[in-house]
């Protein structure tokens, strides 16, 4: 298996304040693992193509607002890594990939963002995949906060299946669109979550490409309202691999701030991808 890891030191240095302290401990823990020499490491860079994708997905007004906040460069660099990983998977240069990021993406809609998110990295990658002829895509979001920005951007595309597990009961999820499924799981344990996964994956049998939005704020010792464990992440990833078979599988990092958990969770997920 060719597993790519996309990482840039700027994610740790210049990433969103709440998210950046976990990046370096997780990356360094990963590099120390015996299996690290089996991984292919890539350092993303921003190209004119990424600028074009950004302008297709977000309004000029939103981009200006992100620039004013000081997170434009690191958010675009994060998205560039996700787009590059998607391209390499589509070209069968990789089988699976994991992208570190310096800012979140799933709360970023066309003209807004909130909750540590600025640019919708996954929506940019989906647009790029569409340009490359890859249309039927599953976006499975297991960050316990609802992926409202992603939903708003992909909801009208009949080829996208968006399965969104979330914990916030106050969030009114309108899943009356095409293939958008909001799955409310309150205080979910590994067992609850894995059962919900089994129940919902059949909705996406026909996809040709799978993107997982992975937030370790779903861990019982991180800030979200799921109560998952490292073993749960391993089992989840094994099930995603089984579901995908030979189809490309792309993990994109999302929420999570606990450096100790990140240093366990991220290497565990990447090892499971091998
Ligand atoms: Zn989250």
Per-position b or e across 221-254, b if 16+ CB within 10 A of its CB: ebbbbbbbbbebbbbbbeebbebbeebbbbbbbb
121: nearest Cα among 226, 41, 212: 212
How many Å lie between the centroid of ligand 1 and the Cα of residue 224?
A: 6
Q: What is the pLDDT of residue 173?
A: 60
Q: What is the pLDDT of residue 168?
A: 80
Q: How many domains does the chain have?
A: 1
Distances (CA, A) of 8 to 15, 81, 130, 213: 10, 9, 26, 18
Distances (CA, A) of 84 to 92, 226, 270: 12, 30, 18
Mean pLDDT by 10 residues, the chain (274 residues): 97 96 98 98 98 98 98 98 98 98 97 96 98 98 95 92 89 69 93 98 97 98 96 98 98 98 98 98
How many Å lie between the centroid of ligand 1 and the Cα of residue 93?
A: 30
pTM of the model: 0.97
How many Å lie between the centroid of ligand 1 and the Cα of residue 214?
A: 9
Handedness of CA 174, 143, 58, 61 (dihedral sign): positive
* Paired residues of 93 in beta bridges: none
DSSP state of 106: T
Q: Which residues have a Cβ under 8 Å from the Cβ of 210 and sit 6 or more positions away?
A: 137, 138, 140, 204, 240, 243, 244, 247, 248, 249, 250
DSSP state of 253: E
How many Å lie between the centroid of ligand 1 and the Cα of residue 130?
A: 26
Exposed, middle or buried: residue 175 (CB in 10 Å: 0-12, 13-18, 19+)? Answer: middle
How many Å lie between the centroid of ligand 1 and the Cα of residue 228?
A: 13
Q: What is the pLDDT of residue 177?
A: 66
Q: What's the CATH code of the domain at 24?
A: 3.40.800.20
Domain limits for position 26: 3-273
How many Å lie between the centroid of ligand 1 and the Cα of residue 138?
A: 19
How many Å lie between the centroid of ligand 1 and the Cα of residue 20?
A: 14
How many Å lie between the centroid of ligand 1 and the Cα of residue 34?
A: 30
């Amino acid at each position: 298996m060719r597993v790519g890891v996309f990482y840039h030191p700027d994610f740790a240095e210049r990433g969103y304040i709440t998210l950046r302290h976990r990046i370096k401990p997780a990356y360094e823990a990963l590099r120390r693992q015996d299996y690290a020499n089996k991984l292919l490491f890539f350092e993303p860079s921003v190209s004119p193509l990424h600028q074009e994708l950004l302008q297709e997905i977000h309004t000029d007004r939103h981009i200006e607002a992100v620039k004013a906040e000081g997170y434009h460069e690191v958010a675009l660099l994060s998205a560039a890594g996700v787009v590059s990983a998607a391209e390499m998977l589509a070209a069968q240069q990789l089988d699976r990939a994991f992208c570190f990021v310096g800012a979140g993406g799933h709360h970023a809609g066309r003209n807004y963002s909130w909750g540590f998110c600025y640019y919708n990295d996954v929506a940019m990658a989906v647009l790029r995949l569409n340009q490359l002829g890859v249309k039927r895509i599953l976006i499975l979001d297991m960050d316990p906060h609802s992926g409202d920005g992603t939903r708003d951007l992909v909801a009208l595309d009949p080829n996208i299946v968006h399965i969104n597990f979330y914990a916030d009961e106050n969030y009114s999820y309108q899943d009356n669109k095409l293939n958008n499924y909001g799955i409310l799981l309150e205080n979910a344990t590994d067992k609850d979550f894995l059962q919900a996964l089994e129940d919902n994956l059949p909705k996406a049998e026909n996809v040709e490409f799978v993107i997982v939005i992975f937030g370790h704020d779903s861990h019982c010792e991180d800030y979200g309202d799921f109560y998952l464990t490292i073993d749960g992440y391993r089992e989840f990833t094994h099930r995603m691999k089984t579901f995908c078979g030979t189809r490309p599988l792309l993990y994109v990092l999302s929420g999570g701030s606990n450096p100790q958990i990140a240093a366990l969770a991220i290497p565990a997920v990447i090892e499971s991808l091998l």
